[in-house]
Amino acid sequence: MAKICISAFVSGHVQGVWFRQSTVDQALSQGLTGWARNVSDGRVQVMLCGESNAVRQVEAWLQLGPELANVVDVVSETVELDESYNDFVIRPDLTL
């Protein structure tokens, strides 16, 4: 199976609603690696790496997010495959 990585920025009411932890749960359930972190402008940034169908499933879930979230937009792009990730984790916040 082909492996890919995508970088996504999720905007809306996505901080303080368990978005990052829910993303961890979704990614791990699909066998993906990568990370999620809050961005200082209110978005959540996500890196998803793994089997392409699994990545696309979690990418689609990002449009919904967890129950308390209100996702307005998801902007994602395919990036160079990075197989250095061993797990899916929450990273420290990114300050812009």
pLDDT band at residue 28, thresholds of 50, 70 and 90?
A: very high
Residue 77 has pLDDT above 80, yes or no: yes
CATH topology of domain 3-82: Alpha-Beta Plaits (3.30.70)
> Both tokens of residue 84?
């250095």
- Mean pLDDT, range 34-46, rounded to an integer: 98
Q: Can you give the residue ranges of every domain in the chain?
A: 3-82
Beta-sheet strand order (sheet of 3-13): 70-79, 3-13, 44-51, 33-38, 88-90
pLDDT for res 58 = 98
What is the pLDDT, as a whole number, of residue 83?
A: 87
Residue 96 has pLDDT above 90, yes or no: no
- What are the catalytic residues? 20, 38
Cα separation, 82 vs 4, in Å, equals 8
10-35 average pLDDT score: 98
